[in-house]
Structure 1
Amino acid sequence: MKKLLLLIALIPSLLFSQTKEELIAQVKANPKDVNSIRLIQKVGGYYPDYQELAGLFKQLDKKVRKTNDGKLFERYLDALKNTMPGKKSPSITQLDLNGEPYALSDLKGKYVLIDFWASWCPPCREENPKLVKTYAEFKDKNFEILGVSFDREFDAWAKAVKDDNLTWKHVSDLQGWNNSAGQAYGVKAIPQNILVDPEGKVVARNLHGEDLNNKLREILK
Protein backbone atom coordinates (compact mmCIF):
# COMPACT_ATOMS: atom_id res chain seq x y z
CA MET A 1 0.00 0.00 0.00
CA LYS A 2 2.83 2.38 0.90
CA LYS A 3 4.50 1.65 -2.44
CA LEU A 4 1.24 2.37 -4.24
CA LEU A 5 0.81 5.68 -2.42
CA LEU A 6 4.40 6.65 -3.25
CA LEU A 7 3.81 5.84 -6.91
CA ILE A 8 0.62 7.90 -6.94
CA ALA A 9 2.50 10.80 -5.38
CA LEU A 10 5.20 10.56 -8.05
CA ILE A 11 2.86 10.35 -11.04
CA PRO A 12 2.23 14.14 -11.33
CA SER A 13 5.94 14.92 -11.35
CA LEU A 14 6.59 12.14 -13.85
CA LEU A 15 3.83 13.33 -16.14
CA PHE A 16 4.76 16.99 -16.03
CA SER A 17 8.54 16.80 -15.82
CA GLN A 18 10.14 18.62 -18.74
CA THR A 19 13.57 18.69 -20.27
CA LYS A 20 15.51 21.93 -20.36
CA GLU A 21 14.93 22.18 -24.09
CA GLU A 22 11.17 21.79 -23.62
CA LEU A 23 11.14 24.49 -20.94
CA ILE A 24 13.03 26.90 -23.18
CA ALA A 25 10.67 26.20 -26.08
CA GLN A 26 7.68 26.86 -23.81
CA VAL A 27 9.15 30.16 -22.64
CA LYS A 28 9.76 31.32 -26.21
CA ALA A 29 6.24 30.28 -27.22
CA ASN A 30 4.63 32.26 -24.36
CA PRO A 31 6.38 35.65 -24.08
CA LYS A 32 3.22 37.35 -22.75
CA ASP A 33 2.56 34.82 -19.98
CA VAL A 34 3.89 35.80 -16.54
CA ASN A 35 4.23 32.10 -15.73
CA SER A 36 7.10 32.00 -18.21
CA ILE A 37 9.24 33.66 -15.52
CA ARG A 38 8.89 30.56 -13.35
CA LEU A 39 9.80 28.39 -16.32
CA ILE A 40 13.00 30.40 -16.82
CA GLN A 41 13.78 29.78 -13.16
CA LYS A 42 13.39 26.03 -13.79
CA VAL A 43 15.74 26.29 -16.76
CA GLY A 44 18.43 27.51 -14.36
CA GLY A 45 17.89 24.76 -11.81
CA TYR A 46 20.97 23.87 -9.77
CA TYR A 47 23.32 25.34 -12.37
CA PRO A 48 22.01 28.79 -13.33
CA ASP A 49 23.78 30.50 -16.22
CA TYR A 50 23.33 34.27 -16.11
CA GLN A 51 23.71 34.81 -19.85
CA GLU A 52 21.21 32.09 -20.70
CA LEU A 53 18.57 33.18 -18.20
CA ALA A 54 18.98 36.89 -18.95
CA GLY A 55 18.63 36.17 -22.66
CA LEU A 56 15.36 34.29 -22.11
CA PHE A 57 14.04 36.99 -19.79
CA LYS A 58 14.70 39.70 -22.40
CA GLN A 59 12.53 37.78 -24.85
CA LEU A 60 9.48 38.19 -22.61
CA ASP A 61 6.96 40.92 -23.26
CA LYS A 62 7.85 44.22 -21.59
CA LYS A 63 4.62 44.17 -19.56
CA VAL A 64 5.56 40.78 -18.13
CA ARG A 65 9.05 42.01 -17.24
CA LYS A 66 7.54 45.00 -15.42
CA THR A 67 5.28 42.88 -13.16
CA ASN A 68 6.23 42.26 -9.53
CA ASP A 69 7.37 38.76 -10.49
CA GLY A 70 9.45 40.28 -13.27
CA LYS A 71 11.10 42.79 -10.96
CA LEU A 72 11.92 40.07 -8.43
CA PHE A 73 13.43 37.95 -11.19
CA GLU A 74 15.54 40.91 -12.33
CA ARG A 75 16.99 41.12 -8.81
CA TYR A 76 17.84 37.44 -9.03
CA LEU A 77 19.55 38.00 -12.38
CA ASP A 78 21.51 40.90 -10.89
CA ALA A 79 22.69 38.61 -8.08
CA LEU A 80 23.85 36.02 -10.62
CA LYS A 81 25.61 38.71 -12.67
CA ASN A 82 27.33 40.11 -9.59
CA THR A 83 28.71 36.69 -8.62
CA MET A 84 30.12 35.64 -11.97
CA PRO A 85 33.81 34.60 -12.10
CA GLY A 86 36.04 37.63 -11.70
CA LYS A 87 33.49 39.62 -9.69
CA LYS A 88 34.09 40.75 -6.12
CA SER A 89 32.17 38.37 -3.85
CA PRO A 90 29.34 39.98 -1.83
CA SER A 91 29.97 40.22 1.88
CA ILE A 92 28.51 37.65 4.26
CA THR A 93 28.12 38.11 8.01
CA GLN A 94 25.87 35.73 9.93
CA LEU A 95 25.87 33.93 13.27
CA ASP A 96 27.93 30.78 13.73
CA LEU A 97 26.95 27.74 15.79
CA ASN A 98 28.16 29.50 18.94
CA GLY A 99 25.87 32.45 18.28
CA GLU A 100 28.77 34.72 17.36
CA PRO A 101 28.95 36.89 14.21
CA TYR A 102 31.28 35.46 11.59
CA ALA A 103 32.11 37.00 8.22
CA LEU A 104 33.42 35.76 4.89
CA SER A 105 36.04 38.50 5.22
CA ASP A 106 37.42 36.67 8.28
CA LEU A 107 38.80 34.13 5.81
CA LYS A 108 40.44 36.71 3.55
CA GLY A 109 43.79 35.51 2.26
CA LYS A 110 42.52 31.98 1.65
CA TYR A 111 40.63 30.22 -1.10
CA VAL A 112 37.12 29.75 0.28
CA LEU A 113 34.33 27.48 -0.91
CA ILE A 114 31.02 29.06 0.14
CA ASP A 115 28.75 26.04 0.46
CA PHE A 116 24.99 26.68 0.47
CA TRP A 117 23.12 23.75 1.99
CA ALA A 118 20.54 22.67 4.61
CA SER A 119 19.99 19.77 6.98
CA TRP A 120 16.65 18.95 5.31
CA CYS A 121 18.13 18.80 1.79
CA PRO A 122 18.87 15.16 0.72
CA PRO A 123 21.18 16.12 -2.19
CA CYS A 124 23.14 18.35 0.21
CA ARG A 125 23.56 15.55 2.71
CA GLU A 126 24.67 13.21 -0.09
CA GLU A 127 27.26 15.79 -1.14
CA ASN A 128 28.68 16.24 2.37
CA PRO A 129 30.90 13.09 2.46
CA LYS A 130 32.61 14.32 -0.73
CA LEU A 131 33.19 17.72 0.85
CA VAL A 132 34.63 16.07 3.96
CA LYS A 133 37.21 14.29 1.77
CA THR A 134 37.96 17.49 -0.15
CA TYR A 135 38.47 19.42 3.07
CA ALA A 136 40.78 16.76 4.46
CA GLU A 137 42.96 16.99 1.34
CA PHE A 138 43.17 20.77 1.03
CA LYS A 139 42.56 22.34 4.46
CA ASP A 140 46.29 22.76 5.08
CA LYS A 141 46.87 24.31 1.65
CA ASN A 142 45.34 27.75 2.14
CA PHE A 143 41.79 26.46 1.61
CA GLU A 144 38.68 26.76 3.76
CA ILE A 145 34.96 26.08 3.51
CA LEU A 146 32.24 28.38 4.81
CA GLY A 147 28.95 26.53 5.18
CA VAL A 148 25.86 28.73 4.81
CA SER A 149 22.75 26.91 5.99
CA PHE A 150 19.22 27.45 4.70
CA ASP A 151 17.83 25.89 7.86
CA ARG A 152 15.21 27.51 10.07
CA GLU A 153 15.73 25.30 13.12
CA PHE A 154 19.01 25.66 14.98
CA ASP A 155 18.93 22.17 16.50
CA ALA A 156 18.45 20.44 13.14
CA TRP A 157 21.27 22.49 11.64
CA ALA A 158 23.67 21.79 14.51
CA LYS A 159 22.84 18.07 14.51
CA ALA A 160 23.51 17.74 10.77
CA VAL A 161 26.87 19.45 11.13
CA LYS A 162 27.84 17.02 13.88
CA ASP A 163 26.37 13.90 12.26
CA ASP A 164 28.05 14.59 8.90
CA ASN A 165 31.37 15.52 10.54
CA LEU A 166 31.52 18.95 8.90
CA THR A 167 34.48 20.41 10.74
CA TRP A 168 34.71 23.72 8.88
CA LYS A 169 33.06 27.04 9.81
CA HIS A 170 29.26 27.32 9.59
CA VAL A 171 26.90 30.28 9.63
CA SER A 172 23.19 30.93 9.14
CA ASP A 173 20.52 33.56 9.75
CA LEU A 174 17.95 30.75 10.13
CA GLN A 175 15.69 32.33 7.51
CA GLY A 176 15.40 29.33 5.22
CA TRP A 177 15.10 30.29 1.55
CA ASN A 178 15.18 33.95 2.58
CA ASN A 179 18.77 33.60 3.78
CA SER A 180 20.37 36.97 3.05
CA ALA A 181 23.59 35.46 1.72
CA GLY A 182 21.64 33.13 -0.53
CA GLN A 183 19.78 36.09 -2.00
CA ALA A 184 23.00 38.05 -2.53
CA TYR A 185 24.51 35.12 -4.42
CA GLY A 186 21.39 34.26 -6.42
CA VAL A 187 20.85 30.85 -4.82
CA LYS A 188 17.43 29.41 -5.64
CA ALA A 189 18.32 25.72 -5.39
CA ILE A 190 20.71 23.80 -3.15
CA PRO A 191 23.33 22.44 -2.91
CA GLN A 192 25.23 25.23 -4.62
CA ASN A 193 28.66 26.67 -4.00
CA ILE A 194 30.90 29.55 -4.93
CA LEU A 195 34.71 29.34 -4.93
CA VAL A 196 36.39 32.61 -3.92
CA ASP A 197 40.08 33.49 -4.18
CA PRO A 198 42.28 35.06 -1.43
CA GLU A 199 41.37 38.56 -2.65
CA GLY A 200 37.67 37.82 -2.42
CA LYS A 201 37.00 37.45 -6.15
CA VAL A 202 34.76 34.71 -7.51
CA VAL A 203 36.69 31.91 -9.20
CA ALA A 204 33.89 29.51 -10.13
CA ARG A 205 30.34 28.44 -9.33
CA ASN A 206 29.03 24.94 -8.62
CA LEU A 207 32.11 22.79 -8.75
CA HIS A 208 31.41 19.41 -7.13
CA GLY A 209 33.27 16.17 -6.50
CA GLU A 210 36.31 15.63 -8.71
CA ASP A 211 35.64 18.82 -10.67
CA LEU A 212 36.18 20.77 -7.44
CA ASN A 213 39.20 18.70 -6.43
CA ASN A 214 40.85 19.13 -9.82
CA LYS A 215 40.30 22.89 -9.71
CA LEU A 216 41.80 23.10 -6.23
CA ARG A 217 44.82 21.01 -7.30
CA GLU A 218 45.30 23.43 -10.17
CA ILE A 219 45.16 26.64 -8.13
CA LEU A 220 46.76 25.41 -4.90
CA LYS A 221 50.06 24.26 -6.41
Structure 2
Amino acid sequence: MIVINDSKLIRIHVNYFFKKYSIEGSRATASLTALADRRIAIIGVRNRLIRKVDSLSKLNIKGAAVDSLKLSRDLSVKMLHNNDVAYADTVANPAAFLEINSLIDFDQDFEGYKKFIIRASSRFPNYRLIKQLREDAIANAKIFEEEYLVGDKLPYITLPDETGIPYSTSTLNGRYYLIDFWSTWCQQCKLFTKAEYKILQETSNVNLAVVSVALDDQEDVWKKTIVKNKFNWVQLIDTKMWQGTAARTLKFDSIPFNFLVSPKGKIIAKAIKPDSLESIISRLSLNKK
Protein backbone atom coordinates (compact mmCIF):
# COMPACT_ATOMS: atom_id res chain seq x y z
CA MET A 1 0.00 0.00 0.00
CA ILE A 2 1.40 3.38 -1.06
CA VAL A 3 0.19 6.53 0.69
CA ILE A 4 1.42 9.96 -0.40
CA ASN A 5 1.35 12.56 2.33
CA ASP A 6 -0.17 15.44 0.36
CA SER A 7 -2.87 16.49 2.83
CA LYS A 8 -3.16 17.52 6.46
CA LEU A 9 -5.80 14.85 7.08
CA ILE A 10 -5.61 11.41 5.47
CA ARG A 11 -7.87 8.57 6.58
CA ILE A 12 -6.98 4.93 5.98
CA HIS A 13 -9.75 2.38 6.42
CA VAL A 14 -8.60 -1.23 6.68
CA ASN A 15 -10.82 -4.32 6.61
CA TYR A 16 -8.55 -7.09 7.86
CA PHE A 17 -11.19 -9.77 7.38
CA PHE A 18 -11.63 -9.13 3.63
CA LYS A 19 -8.07 -7.82 3.24
CA LYS A 20 -9.23 -4.57 1.74
CA TYR A 21 -8.44 -0.95 2.46
CA SER A 22 -9.42 2.50 1.29
CA ILE A 23 -7.71 5.87 1.57
CA GLU A 24 -9.44 9.22 1.88
CA GLY A 25 -8.05 12.72 1.78
CA SER A 26 -5.05 12.18 -0.51
CA ARG A 27 -5.62 13.20 -4.13
CA ALA A 28 -2.22 11.90 -5.24
CA THR A 29 -2.83 8.50 -3.63
CA ALA A 30 -6.27 8.31 -5.22
CA SER A 31 -4.80 9.05 -8.64
CA LEU A 32 -2.18 6.32 -8.19
CA THR A 33 -4.87 3.85 -7.13
CA ALA A 34 -6.91 4.65 -10.25
CA LEU A 35 -3.79 4.27 -12.37
CA ALA A 36 -3.03 0.91 -10.77
CA ASP A 37 -6.52 -0.32 -11.65
CA ARG A 38 -6.04 0.69 -15.29
CA ARG A 39 -2.62 -0.95 -15.37
CA ILE A 40 -3.98 -4.21 -13.95
CA ALA A 41 -6.67 -4.31 -16.64
CA ILE A 42 -4.20 -3.65 -19.48
CA ILE A 43 -1.61 -6.10 -18.12
CA GLY A 44 -4.32 -8.75 -17.80
CA VAL A 45 -5.20 -8.40 -21.48
CA ARG A 46 -1.53 -8.36 -22.47
CA ASN A 47 -0.73 -11.53 -20.51
CA ARG A 48 -3.69 -13.40 -21.99
CA LEU A 49 -2.53 -12.47 -25.49
CA ILE A 50 1.04 -13.54 -24.68
CA ARG A 51 -0.19 -16.94 -23.49
CA LYS A 52 -2.31 -17.41 -26.62
CA VAL A 53 0.58 -16.55 -28.93
CA ASP A 54 2.93 -18.86 -27.03
CA SER A 55 0.43 -21.73 -27.17
CA LEU A 56 -0.05 -21.38 -30.92
CA SER A 57 3.71 -21.08 -31.47
CA LYS A 58 4.29 -24.35 -29.58
CA LEU A 59 1.74 -26.00 -31.88
CA ASN A 60 3.60 -24.48 -34.85
CA ILE A 61 0.42 -22.73 -35.97
CA LYS A 62 0.98 -19.77 -38.28
CA GLY A 63 -1.13 -17.45 -40.36
CA ALA A 64 -3.29 -14.35 -40.19
CA ALA A 65 -4.93 -15.31 -36.90
CA VAL A 66 -1.57 -15.58 -35.12
CA ASP A 67 -0.32 -12.36 -36.72
CA SER A 68 -3.45 -10.60 -35.48
CA LEU A 69 -2.86 -11.85 -31.94
CA LYS A 70 0.75 -10.68 -32.08
CA LEU A 71 -0.38 -7.26 -33.27
CA SER A 72 -2.91 -7.04 -30.43
CA ARG A 73 -0.22 -8.11 -27.95
CA ASP A 74 2.16 -5.40 -29.17
CA LEU A 75 -0.61 -2.80 -29.07
CA SER A 76 -1.41 -3.72 -25.46
CA VAL A 77 2.26 -3.22 -24.53
CA LYS A 78 2.22 0.17 -26.26
CA MET A 79 -1.07 1.04 -24.57
CA LEU A 80 0.43 0.34 -21.14
CA HIS A 81 3.44 2.52 -21.92
CA ASN A 82 1.31 5.37 -23.28
CA ASN A 83 -1.06 5.16 -20.33
CA ASP A 84 1.83 5.46 -17.86
CA VAL A 85 3.49 8.32 -19.75
CA ALA A 86 0.22 10.24 -20.01
CA TYR A 87 -0.27 9.93 -16.26
CA ALA A 88 3.32 10.97 -15.51
CA ASP A 89 3.03 13.98 -17.84
CA THR A 90 -0.06 15.31 -16.05
CA VAL A 91 0.15 14.24 -12.40
CA ALA A 92 0.49 17.22 -10.06
CA ASN A 93 2.41 15.51 -7.27
CA PRO A 94 6.18 14.86 -7.66
CA ALA A 95 6.10 11.79 -5.39
CA ALA A 96 3.38 10.25 -7.57
CA PHE A 97 5.49 11.03 -10.63
CA LEU A 98 8.51 9.26 -9.13
CA GLU A 99 6.38 6.22 -8.32
CA ILE A 100 5.19 5.76 -11.90
CA ASN A 101 8.56 6.75 -13.36
CA SER A 102 10.07 3.64 -11.75
CA LEU A 103 7.60 1.48 -13.73
CA ILE A 104 7.92 3.00 -17.19
CA ASP A 105 10.20 1.12 -19.57
CA PHE A 106 11.75 3.23 -22.33
CA ASP A 107 13.99 0.30 -23.32
CA GLN A 108 16.81 1.76 -25.49
CA ASP A 109 14.98 5.01 -26.26
CA PHE A 110 17.37 7.20 -24.26
CA GLU A 111 16.44 10.32 -26.20
CA GLY A 112 12.75 9.71 -25.50
CA TYR A 113 13.43 9.23 -21.81
CA LYS A 114 15.53 12.40 -21.72
CA LYS A 115 12.65 14.44 -23.18
CA PHE A 116 10.23 12.78 -20.76
CA ILE A 117 12.34 13.70 -17.72
CA ILE A 118 12.98 17.24 -18.99
CA ARG A 119 9.22 17.75 -19.20
CA ALA A 120 8.87 16.57 -15.60
CA SER A 121 11.72 18.74 -14.35
CA SER A 122 10.08 21.81 -15.86
CA ARG A 123 6.92 21.02 -13.86
CA PHE A 124 8.81 20.25 -10.65
CA PRO A 125 11.83 22.59 -10.88
CA ASN A 126 12.63 22.55 -7.16
CA TYR A 127 12.33 18.80 -6.53
CA ARG A 128 15.82 17.43 -5.88
CA LEU A 129 15.27 13.81 -6.95
CA ILE A 130 13.74 14.86 -10.27
CA LYS A 131 16.63 17.27 -10.87
CA GLN A 132 19.01 14.34 -10.43
CA LEU A 133 16.95 12.19 -12.83
CA ARG A 134 17.20 15.00 -15.39
CA GLU A 135 21.00 15.16 -15.08
CA ASP A 136 21.29 11.37 -15.35
CA ALA A 137 18.98 11.20 -18.38
CA ILE A 138 20.91 13.91 -20.24
CA ALA A 139 24.25 12.25 -19.45
CA ASN A 140 23.00 8.83 -20.59
CA ALA A 141 21.58 10.22 -23.83
CA LYS A 142 24.94 11.83 -24.63
CA ILE A 143 26.60 8.41 -24.54
CA PHE A 144 24.43 7.37 -27.47
CA GLU A 145 24.48 10.73 -29.26
CA GLU A 146 28.26 11.08 -29.27
CA GLU A 147 31.20 8.77 -29.74
CA TYR A 148 34.98 8.92 -29.99
CA LEU A 149 36.34 7.97 -33.39
CA VAL A 150 39.69 6.69 -34.59
CA GLY A 151 42.07 9.65 -34.56
CA ASP A 152 40.34 11.38 -31.64
CA LYS A 153 42.17 11.95 -28.39
CA LEU A 154 40.73 9.70 -25.72
CA PRO A 155 40.07 11.37 -22.34
CA TYR A 156 41.69 10.01 -19.20
CA ILE A 157 39.66 8.29 -16.50
CA THR A 158 40.43 7.50 -12.87
CA LEU A 159 38.93 4.44 -11.15
CA PRO A 160 39.90 2.16 -8.23
CA ASP A 161 41.91 -1.03 -8.74
CA GLU A 162 41.31 -4.29 -6.84
CA THR A 163 43.07 -2.88 -3.76
CA GLY A 164 40.90 0.24 -3.78
CA ILE A 165 43.70 2.56 -4.90
CA PRO A 166 42.68 5.10 -7.60
CA TYR A 167 44.40 4.51 -10.93
CA SER A 168 44.47 7.12 -13.71
CA THR A 169 44.99 6.27 -17.36
CA SER A 170 46.93 9.55 -17.58
CA THR A 171 49.91 7.54 -16.22
CA LEU A 172 49.94 5.74 -19.59
CA ASN A 173 50.69 8.93 -21.51
CA GLY A 174 53.62 8.25 -23.85
CA ARG A 175 52.81 4.53 -24.18
CA TYR A 176 50.61 2.41 -26.36
CA TYR A 177 47.77 1.03 -24.30
CA LEU A 178 44.68 -1.10 -24.73
CA ILE A 179 41.68 -0.37 -22.51
CA ASP A 180 38.72 -2.72 -22.53
CA PHE A 181 35.36 -2.80 -20.75
CA TRP A 182 33.67 -5.91 -19.45
CA SER A 183 31.60 -7.41 -16.65
CA THR A 184 31.71 -10.68 -14.73
CA TRP A 185 28.27 -11.65 -16.06
CA CYS A 186 29.17 -10.94 -19.72
CA GLN A 187 29.88 -14.18 -21.57
CA GLN A 188 31.08 -12.43 -24.75
CA CYS A 189 33.60 -10.46 -22.69
CA LYS A 190 35.42 -13.67 -21.78
CA LEU A 191 36.57 -14.13 -25.38
CA PHE A 192 38.32 -10.79 -25.38
CA THR A 193 40.01 -11.29 -22.00
CA LYS A 194 41.34 -14.63 -23.27
CA ALA A 195 42.83 -12.83 -26.27
CA GLU A 196 44.42 -10.24 -23.98
CA TYR A 197 45.83 -12.95 -21.73
CA LYS A 198 47.34 -14.72 -24.72
CA ILE A 199 49.08 -11.57 -25.95
CA LEU A 200 50.52 -10.71 -22.55
CA GLN A 201 51.62 -14.25 -21.74
CA GLU A 202 53.00 -15.32 -25.11
CA THR A 203 54.47 -11.99 -26.24
CA SER A 204 56.32 -10.73 -23.21
CA ASN A 205 58.38 -8.18 -25.18
CA VAL A 206 55.35 -6.25 -26.44
CA ASN A 207 55.57 -2.62 -25.38
CA LEU A 208 51.89 -2.41 -24.57
CA ALA A 209 50.01 -1.53 -21.39
CA VAL A 210 46.65 -3.18 -20.87
CA VAL A 211 43.85 -1.90 -18.62
CA SER A 212 40.59 -3.74 -18.04
CA VAL A 213 37.62 -1.86 -16.60
CA ALA A 214 34.75 -3.87 -15.16
CA LEU A 215 31.32 -2.27 -15.25
CA ASP A 216 30.04 -4.28 -12.33
CA ASP A 217 28.34 -3.68 -8.99
CA GLN A 218 29.44 -7.08 -7.63
CA GLU A 219 32.88 -6.09 -6.38
CA ASP A 220 33.55 -9.33 -4.48
CA VAL A 221 32.70 -11.45 -7.52
CA TRP A 222 34.95 -9.23 -9.65
CA LYS A 223 37.91 -9.71 -7.30
CA LYS A 224 37.43 -13.49 -7.24
CA THR A 225 37.23 -13.55 -11.05
CA ILE A 226 40.54 -11.70 -11.32
CA VAL A 227 42.29 -14.17 -9.01
CA LYS A 228 40.68 -17.26 -10.55
CA ASN A 229 41.61 -16.30 -14.12
CA LYS A 230 45.06 -14.90 -13.20
CA PHE A 231 44.43 -11.52 -14.78
CA ASN A 232 47.83 -10.02 -14.03
CA TRP A 233 47.38 -6.68 -15.79
CA VAL A 234 45.74 -3.49 -14.47
CA GLN A 235 42.19 -4.21 -13.32
CA LEU A 236 39.80 -1.37 -12.49
CA ILE A 237 36.11 -1.31 -11.56
CA ASP A 238 33.26 1.13 -12.04
CA THR A 239 30.50 0.04 -9.65
CA LYS A 240 28.15 2.73 -10.98
CA MET A 241 28.21 0.88 -14.29
CA TRP A 242 26.33 2.82 -17.02
CA GLN A 243 25.90 5.74 -14.64
CA GLY A 244 29.62 5.81 -13.93
CA THR A 245 32.80 7.54 -15.02
CA ALA A 246 33.89 5.06 -17.70
CA ALA A 247 30.74 4.99 -19.86
CA ARG A 248 29.93 8.67 -19.41
CA THR A 249 33.44 9.90 -20.14
CA LEU A 250 34.43 7.54 -22.94
CA LYS A 251 30.93 7.32 -24.48
CA PHE A 252 30.61 3.63 -25.30
CA ASP A 253 27.18 2.00 -25.07
CA SER A 254 27.80 -1.73 -24.88
CA ILE A 255 30.21 -4.35 -23.61
CA PRO A 256 32.55 -5.88 -24.49
CA PHE A 257 34.19 -2.77 -25.89
CA ASN A 258 37.74 -1.47 -26.21
CA PHE A 259 40.06 1.26 -27.45
CA LEU A 260 43.66 0.90 -28.63
CA VAL A 261 45.47 4.17 -27.90
CA SER A 262 48.75 5.64 -29.21
CA PRO A 263 51.51 7.20 -27.08
CA LYS A 264 50.03 10.61 -28.00
CA GLY A 265 46.69 9.55 -26.51
CA LYS A 266 44.91 9.16 -29.85
CA ILE A 267 42.64 6.25 -30.74
CA ILE A 268 44.27 3.84 -33.19
CA ALA A 269 41.45 1.28 -33.21
CA LYS A 270 38.22 0.59 -31.33
CA ALA A 271 35.75 -2.25 -30.86
CA ILE A 272 38.44 -4.76 -31.82
CA LYS A 273 37.18 -8.33 -32.16
CA PRO A 274 38.96 -11.04 -30.10
CA ASP A 275 40.20 -12.87 -33.19
CA SER A 276 41.60 -9.63 -34.65
CA LEU A 277 43.43 -8.38 -31.57
CA GLU A 278 46.70 -10.24 -32.12
CA SER A 279 47.09 -9.18 -35.75
CA ILE A 280 46.27 -5.53 -34.99
CA ILE A 281 48.79 -5.42 -32.15
CA SER A 282 51.49 -7.07 -34.28
CA ARG A 283 51.17 -4.42 -37.02
CA LEU A 284 52.06 -1.64 -34.59
CA SER A 285 55.65 -2.84 -34.07
CA LEU A 286 55.16 -2.52 -30.34
CA ASN A 287 58.07 -4.84 -29.66
CA LYS A 288 60.43 -1.87 -30.02
CA LYS A 289 60.73 -0.72 -26.40
Q: TM-score if structure 2 supplies the norm length?
A: 0.51
* Post-superposition offset of 1:172: 1.6
Partner Cα separation in structure 2 for residue 66 and residue 163 of structure 1 = 40
Q: Deviations over 1:85-136 (max 9, x none)?
A: 1111111101111111101111222211111001111111233222210222
Q: Is the 8 A contact 1:37 1:73 kept in 2?
A: no
Q: 1:165 is matched by which residue type in structure 2? A: K
Q: Is the 8 A contact 2:179 2:211 kept in 1?
A: yes
Q: Is the 8 A contact 2:114 2:141 kept in 1?
A: no
Q: Is the 8 A contact 1:150 1:177 kept in 2?
A: yes
Q: 1:152 is matched by which residue type in structure 2? A: D
Residue matched to 2:153: 88
Residue matched to 1:162: 227
Change in 2 beyond 3 A, CA 1:100/1:72: closer
Residue matched to 1:185: 250
Q: 1:130 is matched by which residue type in structure 2? A: A
Alignment of 1:67 onto 2:127 = no
Change in 2 beyond 3 A, CA 1:196/1:138: farther
Q: Is the 8 A contact 2:144 2:253 kept in 1?
A: no
Change in 2 beyond 3 A, CA 1:120/1:36: closer
Q: TM-score if structure 1 supplies the norm length?
A: 0.65
Change in 2 beyond 3 A, CA 1:154/1:38: closer
Change in 2 beyond 3 A, CA 1:208/1:136: farther
Residue matched to 2:194: 129
Q: Deviations over 1:1-40 (max 9, x none)?
A: xxxxxxx8xx9xxxxxxxxxxxxxxxxxxxxxxx99937x
Percent sequence identity over aligned pairs:
27
Partner Cα separation in structure 2 for residue 197 and residue 110 of structure 1 = 7
Partner Cα separation in structure 2 for residue 71 and residue 97 of structure 1 = 30
Q: Is the 8 A contact 2:139 2:248 kept in 1?
A: no
Change in 2 beyond 3 A, CA 1:174/1:65: closer
Alignment of 1:218 onto 2:277 = no
Q: Alignment RMSD, CA only?
A: 3.0
Q: Deviations over 1:57-95 (max 9, x none)?
A: 9xxxxxx69825895565124541xx2111111111011
List aligned pairs for 1:30-179, cutoff 5 A. 38=108, 67-68=115-116, 74-80=141-147, 83-179=148-244
* Post-superposition offset of 1:150: 0.6
Change in 2 beyond 3 A, CA 1:184/1:139: farther
Q: Which runs of 5+ in 2 are unaligned?
A: 1-53, 58-104, 118-136
Residue matched to 1:50: none
Q: Which has the higher contact order (CA 8 A, sep 6+)?
A: 1
Pick one of 196, 203, 211 that aligns with 2:268: 203
* Post-superposition offset of 1:209: 2.4
Change in 2 beyond 3 A, CA 1:202/1:210: same
* Post-superposition offset of 1:177: 2.5
Q: Match of 1:38, SS?
A: coil
Q: Is the 8 A contact 1:84 1:202 kept in 2?
A: yes
Q: Is the 8 A contact 1:96 1:171 kept in 2?
A: yes
Q: Match of 1:219, SS?
A: coil
Q: Is the 8 A contact 2:143 2:247 kept in 1?
A: no
* Post-superposition offset of 1:180: 1.1
Q: Is the 8 A contact 1:85 1:205 kept in 2?
A: yes
Q: Match of 1:91, SS?
A: coil
Q: How many residue pairs are counted as aligned between the two chains?
A: 167
